[in-house]
Amino acid sequence: MKCPLCGCVSFYIKDPDDEYETYEFAWRDGNVEFSADVDQDSCPELCDDTEIFCDQCSWHGETQALKDAAS
């Protein structure tokens, strides 16, 4: 999936307990791949209502909105 504004496949989510902590990931072949420096066990779960942010532009929205834009 890609950002509906700029086409970037890199995104991030904020830690629900610490707004300054972010987790970067990419959508590849329909799968979420967190960056190598992210501890996979500490990553928050990505649900349909999780707010995600594009890593390249100002787009942000819920995961479901990105899925809807891709279809």
- How do the domains of the chain map onto residue ranges? 10-70
pLDDT recorded at residue 66: 80
Dihedral of alpha carbons 53, 64, 42, 28, sign: negative
Q: Which pTM was predicted?
A: 0.84
pLDDT tier at 6, thresholds 50, 70, 90: very high
Closest by CA to 69, choosing from 15, 20, 8, 22, is: 8
